[in-house]
């Protein structure tokens, strides 16, 4: 009854107000767009001035004046003055539908709080900071989302704040400590203790393949800039003498160990019940059987962990155990190369077992194998794994310009890591770097796109689809990885400035003036994500929306971002949704994200089926690790 009354009320409000769902923007960001957190003193700084020509905001036309200034918000003094420059001779940007100007204020290096102001029009940007430490608190907030995503762990107010404090979830009868095989739910012999791990995304399911990837990327993020990963990020393990990022990685590894069988194989997946907050979920937990892809991915994660953890006395015993698990997993996968398990697929009788499909085809299995072999070689220096990497490299040609857009997109960075390892054949190492430079840095969406100013907002991608913010973050890392490996002809400064374009995009220098992290006003983002698809922060809950609910969602989650392919469930078109679904389908057509230029195909909304907001606003640990890897290169 409550749900029916809520739907009736929602429809009345929307009809009377002329709004739509997903909701139209309540905010109207200023036309002068800046990184809402701020800028590093010694690197490039640009504000973007927008005049929308196509899209929901086309009526908000704006032509900038000739005089722009940077003003210190404390002293009210002008510290820099200049003129905005028209982008691409006044062309309308295809991705956003906007005509734009760039205002470069890189000469401003003095730490402080500032705004960019149009002196003739009297319009100004959101305030921002210039500081060497401007991104440090942002990194901490974004990293802490992994703590909030822990399954089976109490979130005490000391670490989660009073708003998101919650008892340990999924530890009740028939849940994670007593999980059963999905197709033998009544057989007590299948009971396994599979507690721990992370909720994967907006749902609470746990996927072995993807967890292994998160562990690998987090470890890469650590080894690429270890000095910033301190022991004070505000998680329960803080102060134990180990960098908090490794403590968080160990939480994921503990679950991965429970998922591994004695013969080395690794279980594929776990399906968990959902509720808000997570501790209210009371439904049973089920797991899927072992498969090759989960096992090979876990081999790489265990191997990398064994190498990194061996450098910390507290975790040296764990390191030895991880090494053994890595070898056993690799051997099982070699002996069982084609064991598959398709979850949530009616063709295999698994419909409803978790959400996303975790199984992979031959090409992606080869990608996972090359990643695993890289880290096994780094651990063991065994020439066998070197030959595996080289053989797979020549077979699958991974250095393709589009690789970063797909699954296992971080593989190219793992290959650069391999090329830096001692003992790697010099000729092969040079080939990896040469291919990276020619195919990726100089590829159609690398330096040529930047040099030709193909993106009005300085963060080129070749399309906006599900998880576009993840692609943005990976594209930024394209340039930071070049610095790490000394690849290409561009200077370190040029590469860092190119990468920062993607950081600034995610922090508000985009057509919507939206910081794509959730609930970040406390850290200075005036227009951050207010609501997103997540079972905890669900529609109608006290965590629903920053503007209308008691708490709004927790801070720091990177959402999927603009998706030009967004659409409601097919039953909305066929008229077969029925009941609640039918009522939701009859709400006004959404704008945005419907019918917009790609970069404007976004709105803050969190309705589930059949509105399917998850393809636009859902978070993912995969998005999060991409963002952390990129941002961490600019934390000082």
**Where do we find the tokens 């603009």?**
562
Residue whose token pair is 């099982």 = 332
For the stretch 570-617, pLDDT in tens is 999 899 999 999 998 988 766 689 999 999 999 999 999 999 999 999
Q: Spell out the domains of the chain, with CATH numbers in brackets.
A: 32-37+45-135 (2.60.40.10), 136-167+191-344+355-360 (1.50.10.10)
What would the mean pLDDT of 253-257 be, rounded to a whole number? 98
Report the percentage of the chain scoring pLDDT > 70: 95
Give the range among 10-24, 172-186, 214-228, 263-277 with minimum mean pLDDT: 10-24
List, for residues 385-403, the tens digit of each pLDDT value.
999 999 999 998 899 888 8
For the cut 80, the answer to whether the pLDDT of residue 3 exceeds it is: no
Angle at 171 between CA 169 and CA 177, to 5 degrees: 140
pLDDT tens-digit series, residues 407-442: 999 999 999 999 999 999 999 999 999 999 999 999
CA dihedral 343, 345, 348, 349 (to 10 degrees): 90
Instruction: State the Cα–Cα distance between residues 599 and 282, nearest whole angstrom.
Output: 39
pLDDT averaged over the chain? 94
SS3 184: coil
d(CA 326, CA 455): 43
Residue (of 518, 614, 596) closest to 205 by Cα position: 614
Confidence of residue 444 (pLDDT cuts 50, 70, 90): confident
Please give the C-alpha separations between residue 245 and each of 298, 391, 432, 624, in angstroms, as whole numbers: 19, 33, 29, 13
Angstrom distance (rounded) from CA 195 to CA 183? 19
Pick from 206, 204, 209, 203: nearest CA to 192: 206
Alpha-carbon torsion angle 83, 88, 94, 97, nearest 10:
30
- Whether pLDDT at 512 is above 60: yes
What is the number of residues in the chain? 636
When pLDDT is cut at 50, 70 and 90, the band that residue 569 belongs to is very high
* CA–CA distance, 144 with 139 (Å, rounded to integer): 8
């Amino acid at each position: 009854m409550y749900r029916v009354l809520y739907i009736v009320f929602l429809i009345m409000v929307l009809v009377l107000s002329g709004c739509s769902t997903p909701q139209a923007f309540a905010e109207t960001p200023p036309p002068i767009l800046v990184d809402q957190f701020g800028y590093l003193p010694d690197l490039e700084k640009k504000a973007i001035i927008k005049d929308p020509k196509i899209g929901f905001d086309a009526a908000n036309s704006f032509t900038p004046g000739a005089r722009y200034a940077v003003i210190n918000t404390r002293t009210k003094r002008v510290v820099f003055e200049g003129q905005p420059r028209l982008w691409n001779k006044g062309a309308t940007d295809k991705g956003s539908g906007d005509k734009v100007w760039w205002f470069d204020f890189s000469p401003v290096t003095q730490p402080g709080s500032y705004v960019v102001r149009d002196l003739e029009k009297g319009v100004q940007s959101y305030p921002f900071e210039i500081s060497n430490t401007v991104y440090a608190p942002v990194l901490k907030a974004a990293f802490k989302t992994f703590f909030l995503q822990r399954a089976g762990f109490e979130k005490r107010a000391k670490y989660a704040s009073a708003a998101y404090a919650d008892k340990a979830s999924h530890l009740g009868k028939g849940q994670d400590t007593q999980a059963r095989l999905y197709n033998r739910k009544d057989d007590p012999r299948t009971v396994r203790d599979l507690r721990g791990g992370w909720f994967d995304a907006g749902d609470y399911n746990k996927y072995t393949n993807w967890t292994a990837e998160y562990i690998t990327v987090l470890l890469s993020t650590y080894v690429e800039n270890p000095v910033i990963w301190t022991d004070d990020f505000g998680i329960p393990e803080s102060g134990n003498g180990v960098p908090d990022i490794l403590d968080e990685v160990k939480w994921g590894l503990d679950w991965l160990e429970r998922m591994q069988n004695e013969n080395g194989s690794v279980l594929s997946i776990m399906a968990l019940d959902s509720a808000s907050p997570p501790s209210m979920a009371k439904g049973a937990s089920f797991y899927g059987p072992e498969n090759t892809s989960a096992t090979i991915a876990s081999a790489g994660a265990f191997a990398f962990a064994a190498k990194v953890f061996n450098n910390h006395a507290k975790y040296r015993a764990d390191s030895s155990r991880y090494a053994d698990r890595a070898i056993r997993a690799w051997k099982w996968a070699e002996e069982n190369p084609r064991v598959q398990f398709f979850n949530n697929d009616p063709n295999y009788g698994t419909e409803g077992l978790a959400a996303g499909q975790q199984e992979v085809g031959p090409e992606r299995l080869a990608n996972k194998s090359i990643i695993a072999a890289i880290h096994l070689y780094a651990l063991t220096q065994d020439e066998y794994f070197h030959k595996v990497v080289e053989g797979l490299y020549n077979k699958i040609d991974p250095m393709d310009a589009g690789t970063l857009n797909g699954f296992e997109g971080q593989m190219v960075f793992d290959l650069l890591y391999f090329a830096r390892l001692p003992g790697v054949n010099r000729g092969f190492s040079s080939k990896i770097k040469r291919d990276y430079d020619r195919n990726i840095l100089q590829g159609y969406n690398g330096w040529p796109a930047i040099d030709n100013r193909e993106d009005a907002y300085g963060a080129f991608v070749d399309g906006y689809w599900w998880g576009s913010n993840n692609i943005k973050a990976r594209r930024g890392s394209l340039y930071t990885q070049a610095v790490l490996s000394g690849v290409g002809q561009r200077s370190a400064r040029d590469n860092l400035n190119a990468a920062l374009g993607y950081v600034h995009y995610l922090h508000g220098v985009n057509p919507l003036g939206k910081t794509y992290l959730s609930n970040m006003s406390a850290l200075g983002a005036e227009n951050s994500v207010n609501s997103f698809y997540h079972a905890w922060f669900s529609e109608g809950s006290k965590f629903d929306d920053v503007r209308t609910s008691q708490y709004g969602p927790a801070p720091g989650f990177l959402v999927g971002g603009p998706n030009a392919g967004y659409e409601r469930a097919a039953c909305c078109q066929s008229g077969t949704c029925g009941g609640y679904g039918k009522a939701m389908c009859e709400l006004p057509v959404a704008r945005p994200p419907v019918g917009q230029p790609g970069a404007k195909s976004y709105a803050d909304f969190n309705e589930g089926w059949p509105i399917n907001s998850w393809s636009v606003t859902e978070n993912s640990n995969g998005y999060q690790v991409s963002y952390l890897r990129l941002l961490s290169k600019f934390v000082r």
